[in-house]
Structure 1
Amino acid sequence: MKSIRMTLVAATALCGATAAYATDLEVTHWWTSGGEAAAVAEFAKAFDATGNKWVDGAIAGSGGTARPIMISRITGGDPMGATQFNHGRQAEELVEAGLMRDLSDIAEKNHWKDLVSPSSLLDSCTLDGKIYCVPVNIHSQQWLWLNNAVFTDNGMEVPTNWDEYAAAAPKLKEAGVVPLALGQQPWQTTLAFQVLLVALAGPEAYTQVFGGHDAEVAASPELAKVFQAAATAREMSQDSNIQNWNDATNMVITGKAAGQIMGDWAQGEFQVANQVAGKDYTCLPGLGVNEVIQTGGDAFYFPAVDDAEITEAQGILAEVMMSAETQVAFNLKKGSLPVRGDVDLNAANDCMRKGLDILAKGNIIQSPDQLMSADSLTQVNDLFVEFFNTPSMTAEDAQARFVSLIEDAE
């Protein structure tokens, strides 16, 4: 069955390009929660306005579930028109195999190098001087989301940092509230650990470990504090018996849980629930300790196909995704930050403004995908998952194994 379908309906494409035919373009992604669906609809609306047709290829689950399916289709000769990956090296082998389209001409025509900020986002799309993807947002995972009423209703101040939050856990448990909502999908536990590492050991230590593969830092007392905090987080989340990240977010929204360590995409769920940032919920970048923005996020790649109409539609979609109007509409719904440094975000809420302020100060770090090979990162992440799922594993034992993995990392 062909995954990319065309209808020969004449249409005029916007965004500075003219389409000879209206083309159905299948776009695969893993955005299926309420907030994510609202955001991706902005991409679809903007692309459909060019006279082409966005054919939605959402894959339920996380990126870890979706990526193998996407890769299998591309390598198996059944490519989609466009597909989501995260910033970094996830598509590197596909690019090296010649299976992804070179977008350098489109990027040059539309001055992406002048518009994308920080430049590391476009660097992550670049291999051997050629640009192969469109970065569409800046997603930082460095956030703690809190239900304000849970704390005030139980006679507590809303925490302003990780230590205050962890100290409140016993009283929250007595009140029948789960202190920390954490889904059981492996990537959620690895995210929580990475966030704790950046917040408590600091951005420099994080970069030395993941980017420099510095085993000495990995074995340091600063990292020991991180593993102890992870053990605390493991205990705080022990009654959080759910799977999906958005179900964990819903526990916070409904007051069943006090907080969640999750990326800024959680904000989309709060918005769908009509929650107001700064009033109904609090967002603490860097867990209120080290306020940084991770310059990871999402990007779209376009498989190379021998079809002129599909190729033209791919180029149009790439331009649409990078347009100022679409960047604003999409990221306001997604809870992420735009990759363009020249867009108007007067509609930004309290949490997005915090992120923009941090970004403006230059307090940024790269994502693990940008710093470490996929194989090495998988081994490290597997350790984090095992640690969270094995209460008998001590913080000291986990750190010792972590040091060994960092020594051998690529």
Structure 2
Amino acid sequence: MKLTKALLSATALCAAATTAHAVDLEVTHWWTSGGEAAAVTQFAKAFNEKTEHNWVDGAIAGGGSTARPIMVSRILGGDPMGATQFNHGRQAQELVEAGLMLDLTDVAEAEGWKDVVHPSSLLDACTLDGRIYCAPVNIHSWQWLWLSNSAFADIGVDVPANWDEYVAAMPALDAAGIVPLAMGGQAWQSSGAFGVLAIAIAGQDAWKAVNIAKDADVAGGEAYAKVFDAAAAAREYSKKTNVQDWNQATAMVIEGKAGGQIMGDWAQGEFAVAEKVAGTDYTCLPGLGVNAVIDTAGDAFYFPKQDDPEVEAAQKELAALMLSKEVQVEFNLRKGSLPVRGDVDLAAANDCMKKGLAILESGNIMPSGDMALSPDTSGQIEDLMTEFWSSDMSAADAQAEYAGIIADAD
């Protein structure tokens, strides 16, 4: 069994003067779709094969909005798992501040995470008071529009190159019985799609003013009025989706039953499982084809503290493995995400992943909403977007309520 410097350090620090035994380490996450399951299996495989320990899978169906409260409740209730997924940003901040998460600084220093994690904001999102409390594992961007090439062939229209061309084709898709815009029924999907529209239509400066500076005047102003008008128009063409889960909506695009979907690059995992080829079977437009930008959202793993040195050693071994070169490649190729390491070879990346890598290299990146907004503010926006996308709420009324949320945001 080969151990990296960090693994040896972790063992020495946490299990000195003891005999190491295999640990059954429960790992909770919300990766349950076909593509997600194929990806997370790479973590489990590496942990089981490269250490003496066992990965105990704790998948929770229903997405992050369902899983996170369960995870938090268990940690607060004294029933912590060995490791748990959160998104980069502020979702676990209160748990870290309460002293409930394992400090991974020794692992990060031994493995040189500060030298290889790119962009550095990913590691910054794991850092509090100079200490590192999570292992970032990927870069996921919301800023994508996925289009079904066969759907547009069926209506005799070229695959759109941008959002305006797509909107212009929506009536023809609708007339042909093809759902123009697939939109699942979960709150985070409508909220995420709105954020993508905001960056593409209002622009990066306006988005930053609202989400980072919490400028309610911009949120209630002309730039965002255009975003709400665009969302209201798109809403009419998404009402026939009739599915809840995001991957069900993606399946509609894969099968040509829907023209397109606004969804993060994790959708690539579903296209890969379906053996669809980027550029041939489907088209991906970063920034809706309007603004080639990606946000640096993504997933990270936190390790709840447990009063057991052998468990702690196993936790640190897993943290190190998750950022190792080989595991980063195998996981992200299946997940559709970009690696957090800037020194890995992704020659096998498909056309869409290469677009994302090129944008990342260009530096045209932004923080994610999870990094800028508190869980409470994000929840309020999700509630508003659920009401807006599922009703006839006017764009003006929705914008006024949105501006009020931003005015009170923490």
Distance between the aligned counterparts of 2:248 and 2:152, measured in 1?
20
Query: Does residue 263 of structure 2 align to residue 262 of structure 1?
Result: yes
Alignment of 1:118-197 (within 5 A): 118-197=119-198
Change (3 A) 1:13 1:48: farther
Distance between the aligned counterparts of 2:47 and 2:26, measured in 1?
12
Q: Is the 8 A contact 1:13 1:51 kept in 2?
A: no
Q: CA deviation at 1:15?
A: 3.2
Q: CA deviation at 1:210?
A: 0.6
Distance between the aligned counterparts of 1:149 and 1:254, measured in 2?
8
What is the RMSD computed on CA atoms of the aligned residues?
Answer: 1.0
Query: Does residue 399 of structure 2 align to residue 399 of structure 1?
Result: yes
The equivalent position to 1:14 in structure 2, one of 3, 7, 26, is 3
Q: Is the 8 A contact 1:13 1:316 kept in 2?
A: no
Distance between the aligned counterparts of 2:384 and 2:323, measured in 1?
37
* 1:192-247 CA-partner distances (Å, limit 9, x unpaired): 11110011111111111011011221122111110011001211101010010000
Which secondary structure state, in structure 2, belongs to the residue aligned with residue 146 of structure 1? strand
Distance between the aligned counterparts of 1:218 and 1:79, measured in 2?
39
Distance between the aligned counterparts of 1:129 and 1:248, measured in 2?
41
Distance between the aligned counterparts of 2:296 and 2:29, measured in 1?
20
Q: TM-score, normalised by structure 1?
A: 0.95
Which secondary structure state, in structure 2, belongs to the residue aligned with residue 118 of structure 1? coil
Q: Which amino acid aligns with 1:202?
A: G
Q: Is the 8 A contact 1:183 1:247 kept in 2?
A: yes
Distance between the aligned counterparts of 1:220 and 1:231, measured in 2?
16
Alignment of 1:321-340 (within 5 A): 321-340=322-341
Q: CA deviation at 1:384?
A: 1.4
Aligned to 1:375: 376
Q: Is the 8 A contact 1:13 1:52 kept in 2?
A: no
Q: Which amino acid aligns with 2:29?
A: H
Query: Does residue 61 of structure 2 align to residue 60 of structure 1?
Result: yes
Distance between the aligned counterparts of 2:89 and 2:104, measured in 1?
16
Aligned to 1:29: 29
* 1:13-36 CA-partner distances (Å, limit 9, x unpaired): 633435622221110000000000
Structure 2 unaligned residues grouped into runs of 5+: 12-19
Distance between the aligned counterparts of 1:401 and 1:46, measured in 2?
47
Distance between the aligned counterparts of 1:141 and 1:270, measured in 2?
16
Q: Is the 8 A contact 1:210 1:372 kept in 2?
A: yes
Q: Which amino acid aligns with 2:40?
A: V
Distance between the aligned counterparts of 2:101 and 2:158, measured in 1?
51
The 10-residue stretch of structure 1 (146-155 or 79-88) with the greater mean CA deviation from structure 2: 146-155
Which secondary structure state, in structure 1, belongs to the residue aligned with residue 55 of structure 2? strand
Distance between the aligned counterparts of 1:326 and 1:357, measured in 2?
22
Aligned to 1:71: 72
Distance between the aligned counterparts of 1:314 and 1:304, measured in 2?
9
Aligned to 2:213: 212
Distance between the aligned counterparts of 1:321 and 1:68, measured in 2?
24
Which secondary structure state, in structure 1, belongs to the residue aligned with residue 66 of structure 2? helix
Aligned to 2:357: 356
Deviating above 6 A after TM superposition, structure 1's stretches of 4 or more consecutive aligned residues are none
Q: CA deviation at 1:381?
A: 2.2
Distance between the aligned counterparts of 2:159 and 2:389, measured in 1?
26
Aligned to 2:17: none
Distance between the aligned counterparts of 2:249 and 2:382, measured in 1?
20
* 1:117-165 CA-partner distances (Å, limit 9, x unpaired): 1010001001111100000000001100001011022110100111110
Query: Does residue 242 of structure 2 align to residue 241 of structure 1?
Result: yes
Q: Which amino acid aligns with 1:161?
A: N
Which secondary structure state, in structure 1, belongs to the residue aligned with residue 28 of structure 2? strand
Q: TM-score, normalised by structure 2?
A: 0.95
Q: Which amino acid aligns with 2:36?
A: E
* 1:247-282 CA-partner distances (Å, limit 9, x unpaired): 000001111111000000000000000000011000
Distance between the aligned counterparts of 2:365 and 2:383, measured in 1?
26
Structure 1 unaligned residues grouped into runs of 5+: 1-11
